[in-house]
Structure formats: structure tokens, C-alpha cells
Structure 1
Amino acid sequence: MQQRWWVFTAAFLTTLGMCAVVACGSGTRTDRAPPGPDTSSPVGAPVLVAKIDNSPQARPPVGLGAADVVYVEPVEGGLSRLAAVFSTDKPPVIGPVRSARETDLTLLDQFGNPTLASSGAAPELVAAVDQSSLQNASAERQPAAYFRDYSRPAPHNMFVHSDQLPEGGGWPADSQLHFGPAPPGGRPTQYEEARYPAAVIGFDWSPGDQRWRVSMGGTAYTAADTGPLMPSTVVLQSVQVSNSSISDVAGSVSPLVRTTGSGPAVVLRDGQAFPASWSRPSQDAGTTYTTPTGAPIPFAPGQVWTVLVPAQF
């Protein structure tokens, strides 16, 4: 297996104006049709976002293979949590679901007014979720849609019936995903990874599948209902992170990720790594990715994963 550490060099930082270190580590996949047409995501189709528990005790997930987009967010304790965006297909059961974070209010605003499925939110955050563009369909608001699987340990055992949630707003045209051929300038790679203080998310290229096999902490990441998770495109996006005003029950401060603005990234597709710059001018806009020469980097048709990598790590 080829190993490489991604370090944004001084020249690259001069071009992109930010600092980040992203490491290059094993994984998984789901056979699924590309979301929407080959060139964009499904405009106007209702959007459901589910907050998925990604702690080791919560695995394997259910329903994640059907997501159009999966965001990996840093949370308390150096761990990660997922925000799975469903529009093309909504599986009957999704989970385990956990609570929303302040980061979600800005990150998910680009999807208009999607339904947000979660176990709830910190008391200090509930009012902000209710007042946001998101349709708060938490277990507190829609209790009949949620259930617990008692074969799993609590609190990592809450699931949701997607068809019992209110329908979300349509996917806005301004934040569509764009698919197409890869630009020149990619570097062949077999494996890349992003590191949080207490989590490692790996992507191993599978030539036979033409997908990236996902791993968590060096172990293949597999959905209980559909099998190995394998996105066609992965974005390792360097972001600024600060402390929010919210802490968990253990006193750990919840990170607040800035997903508007610009910065460096690495786009993985077709067995290649493309150095990139990301840009998102406002909360209701989608994120664009360009090469150092300014050429757009479209996604390969299929599931897209975006890992939000804190710039200081």
C-alpha cells in the first residue's frame, strides 16, 4: 500500500492563503446510481439531512450508503460525526442518529430548508435550530419517527424511519454538485487519510470498483444494510475551527467549524489527488473547488464525501 503525508507547502500556501496538514491510510463501498443527472445534483428534489453517530460504539451505520453527500465534522474529544445528505434516495431506516451541532446551522444552509433528523441538540442550541432554515425534525419534535435498537448500547442506538419525517425543501440550484471529467494535474495515489486528535478517516483507492474504500481508525467502514462504503469523490477540506459556547456533559467544548470563506483542499477522484482551493462566499451558496490555475474540479458521478479538516492539525 502506498503511503503519503499531505502537507500544503509554502508555495501552495502562498497560492491558497491557508495552512493545513492532511495525512495520507484503508477502507469500503456501496453500489449506487450517481445522484441525479451526470452533470449536477437533483435540483428541486426534497432534502433530508441526518446527523450520524460515528463513534466506534455506533458502528456499523444503517442507510449511509444511499446518501448523496456525507460530511465528516470534528466534534468534542477529537472525534468525528457525520452529516448525511439524502435527496436522490431516502432509505427506510437511518442511524444511529445523534445530536446536531452549531456547525450544522451554517454548513447545511446551502441546502435551502432541508429536514434535519437528529436526536436533538444542546439546550443552548435548540432555539437557534428552530429559528434556522433547517426543519427541525429531531426526536424531540417527531418522537413517533424514532426508535431504539436495544441490541446496541445507548446512546448509540437511536434510529429514524425516514418516511415518517416531514418532507424537506428542494435542493437549491445554487448549491448543486457538479459532475464531469477530471481536469489535468492530478497525482496518482493509492491511499489518503485525514486525522483528528482521536480519529483517523482513511480512503483507499480500489481500481476494480473505481471508488475509494472508507476506513475509520484503520478498519473498513461498512453499512449494515448495504455493505462497504465507497464514495467516488472525496474532498479533504482545510477549515478554521474555534470553540463554540457549548460544552458536552463531560465539559468538553464543542468545536465550531467555519465552512464559508476559502482555503486549501485536496480532491480525490479516479485514483488521483488534485491540490485545490475551496470557496464558499455565503451560507446559502455551495462550495466550489478549483485547481491552482483556477480550473474547476468537477466530481466523479456517485457519492461524495467531504472531510472538514481543522487547519491546526
Structure 2
Amino acid sequence: MIFKRKPKTDYVEFGQKQPHWFRRHKKLAIILGFVSVLLIAGGTVTALYVVNKKPTPPPAPANVVKPVPQPVPVKYFSPLTGLQVADQAATTQAVTAVMIENSPIARPQSGLKEAGVVFEAIAEGGITRFAVLYQQEKPALIGPVRSVRTYYVDWIAAFNASIAHVGGSLAALNEVRNGSYRDIDQFFNGSYYYRSTDRYAPHNVYTTSQKLDALNASKGYTTSTFTGFTRKDSVASKTPNATQISVTISSAPYNSSYTYNSATNTYDRSVGGAPHLDREKGQISPRVVVVMTIPERTVFEDGNREQIDAIGSGKAVIFQDGTAQEVTWTKKSKTEQIAFTDASGNDVPLARGQTWLTSVPLTGGVSWQ
């Protein structure tokens, strides 16, 4: 019998049993096909999602609250003393100058400690007198009030101030009554002054800040516009070179001295060899002491009168913060303020606070250590 081998074919007839290898590869093919379907389906879904997905808007910017800049506080300073004051209105507050006596029988005076600026000079016969200026300062009692001289008027004129006095020399009265000044002479305004009963005339004329304010208001003298001294903050020197000051004006009862007080950075004043006291407020201690050398001579007007050249230029020494500085003083006209310059011509500011300016003749002088 002859057996013939069936020819190889690439298929299996229906119903016939597939070979083992075919069944194994067929299962793998099915698995791979299923995985392919899943991958295709997943890719399709992902593609559709990506296509149909709306872009996510960027996050809204954070609501950043910008800090509101705080306004820089405005500071106002008195043109008289350089000290800080409450508001702008205070800088134009009316200034009043009062002539106060300094003979020994007039001491202790009232109102000196609270003054903003004090001018000291010889009035007659070597006896000194003060032109005392107030702006924010309001002492309850001021005096004894005495007469005025022309050089005090020259100093006061630069402050646009009212001038309180009891008469004066003929030349001074002709000047102060010429219509260019705020004259509040006691002679014509007696109800705003009074005579005390504890002192003898003519050393007993007094007034008050309240009375002077009322007198100024009645005449419309409610503001003062002027240029004060150049000012600076007061800073005590670490190496003070002027702790004892001696000022020779005329004679022992009127010569003055100062002791530097490091605790307060001021100068405790003495006159006639004793502490200079305010009757109500005690020790007088200016922040700044200026000693100006000014030519002086005796002239005959309505009698023998002192003549001091307040307008001009000369030597001066400024004592402040425990130090002494030699400078030049210059006053160009009645209404212009005194300027102080160093050897290079630079302006020298004065510390804020009470300023005491003394005029000494060429025969006088000042020393310190």
C-alpha cells in the first residue's frame, strides 16, 4: 500500500483540530489584538478629551493691597526761638517787645525767664536794660517796664514787633512814633499797665501777657511776619570749651557771667555777682548767649544819652552747646535781621531756644574758659 503525504497548506479546514503551536500563537495574537484595541480606544478617548477640553484660564492675580503712603508730618517752628510750634498759624503769631529795667532795685524781674529773645545794652550811666521779645511765650507778669532808646528800636524793628515801653529818649520817641512801628507806649495806653505797690516809682510799672495781647488786638496787631535768626537743633558738645563765661559791660553791678549747665545744655546766668533770677520762675538760663562788640559813645540829645551803632558790623562770640565760636555780626538796615558769619563767610546758626544777646562797648569785652 502506498501512503501519500498531504500537501502543506496555510489554512486548516473547518472542523479540523488545529495544531498546538497554532493554538498557542492564536491566543497570543488575540491578547495582542485586544491590547491594541484598548490602546487605540484609549488614545482615541484621550485625543477626543484633549481636543474637546477647554483651556484652563490662568489664575486670577492676587488682590495685592498696596500700602497707602502716610503723609510726612509737617513741622512748624517759631521764627523767634526756632522751637517747634503746633501749627502754621503759630509761626505768624504777633511778637511783642517789652523794655525791662535792670537796675539793682528792679531785681528780680518778672517775665525774663520765659522770653524768646533778649537784647541787653547800656541805657544810661552804665546801667543796662533789656528789650525782651515774646511770641508763643505768655508770662503772667512782666516788668518793671521802662523807657526805650533808639538802638533798641533798631533791633526790635527786624521782628515786626509791638514795642511796650514807658516813654523814652527824645530821639527814640520821635523814631517809634513816626508811623513805621507798632508803638504801645504806656503813656497812651495806661489801662493796659499798672503800678505795683511793693516797689517805688519809677521801678514799679508792670503789665501782663493778657493785657498786652488785648492791647495788640485792639490796634489790629494780630500777626508778625519776619525773618528770625538761622536756627539748628541743640546738641551738646562732647568736648565743651566754654563752661565759664565773663562779660564786662560797664561796672560790677551790671557785668554778667554764665556757667554752662551740662545737664540742660544751657547757661545759668549771673549778674552783679549773684544768680540772675526771675521773680516767679527762678534761675534764668538761656540756650544761646551772644556777645556783640559794638561802638558806643555818649551824645547830647535831650540830655546825655548813650548812642550804640546797632546797624553795621563787628565782632561777636556765640556760646552754645558748651562751645565758643568767634564770628562776625552784620545788620544791614533797621528791618533786616542780624546775621552771624564765620571766618569763611558762612552763616552760623543758633541753637533753638532762648537767645540772649549782649552789646558790649569797645572798652568792655568777654572771656571764657
Distance in 1 of aligned mates of 2:316 and 2:84: 25
Letter in 2 for 1:139: Q
- Aligned-residue offset at 1:175: 3.4
1:96-107 maps to which residues of 2 (within 5 A)? 96-107=144-155
Cα distance change on mapping 1:92 and 1:244 into 2, 3 Å = farther
Taking a change above 3 Å as real, the CA distance of residues 84 and 173 of structure 1, as seen in their structure-2 partners, is same
Change in Cα spacing, 1:281 to 1:122, as seen in structure 2 (3 Å) is closer
Q: 1:301 aligns with which of 352, 357, 366?
A: 352
Q: What SS class does the counterpart of residue 235 from structure 1 fall into? A: strand
Q: Which residue of 2 aligns with 1:93?
A: 141
Measured after TM superposition, the shift of residue 196 of structure 1 is: 2.1
Shift of 1:71: 0.6
Give 1:291's aligned residue.
342
Matches within 5 A, 1:217-256: 217-247=272-302, 253-256=304-307
Match of 2:77 in 1: none
- Which string of whole-angstrom CA distances, capped at 9 and with x for unpartnered residues, describes residues 130-186 of structure 1? 1153222121111001111221222111101232233246443433452346799x9
Map of 1:207 onto structure 2: 262
- Provide the residue aligned with 2:248 in structure 1: 195
Q: 1:261 maps to which residue?
A: 312
Question: What SS class does the counterpart of residue 173 from structure 2 fall into?
Answer: helix
Q: Does 1:141 align with 2:188?
A: yes
Unaligned 5+ segments in structure 2 are 1-80, 365-369
Q: CA separation in 2, counterparts of 1:141 and 1:178?
A: 37
Say which of 123, 129, 137 aligns to 1:75. Answer: 123
Q: Which one of the candidate residues 166, 169, 181 is aligned to 1:122?
A: 169
2:323 equivalent in structure 1: 272
Alpha-carbon spacing, 1:171–1:234, altered in 2? closer, same or farther (3 Å): farther
Identity among equivalent pairs (%): 25
Classify 1:123/1:260 alpha carbon distance in 2 versus 1 (closer, same or farther; 3 Å).
closer
Higher relative contact order (CA 8 A, sep 6+): 1
Contact kept, 8 Å, 1:35 with 1:303, in 2: the verdict is no
Give distance in 1, aligned partners of 2:268 and 2:245.
10
Contact 1:109/1:133, CA 8 A, preserved across alignment: no
Check the 8 A contact 2:234/2:321 in 1, yes or no: no
Q: What CA deviation, in whole Å up to 9, does each residue of 1:240-292 have, x standing for no partner?
A: 22334435xxx5x2212112221110000011111111111221111111222
Q: CA RMSD in A?
A: 2.4
Change in Cα spacing, 1:190 to 1:135, as seen in structure 2 (3 Å) is same
Give the secondary-structure state (helix, strand or coil) at the position aligned to 1:89.
coil
1:280-311 deviations in whole A, cap 9, x for unaligned?
Answer: 12211111112222332211221000001112
The normalised TM-score by structure 1 is: 0.80
Return the offset for 1:117: 1.0
Structure label with greater radius of gyration: 2
Distance in 1 between the 2:202 and 2:249 partners? 22
> Hey, what's the Cα distance between the residues in 1 that align with 2:138 and 2:250?
32
* Equivalent in 199, 203, 215 of residue 152 of structure 1: 199
User: More helix by proportion, 1 or 2?
Assistant: 2
Deviates more, 1:187-196 or 1:226-235: 187-196
Q: In the alignment, residue 257 of structure 2 is paired with which amino acid?
A: G
More strand per residue: 1 or 2? 1
State the Cα deviation string for residues 177-223 of structure 1 (Å, max 9, x = none).
52346799x96011112212222011111111211011111110010
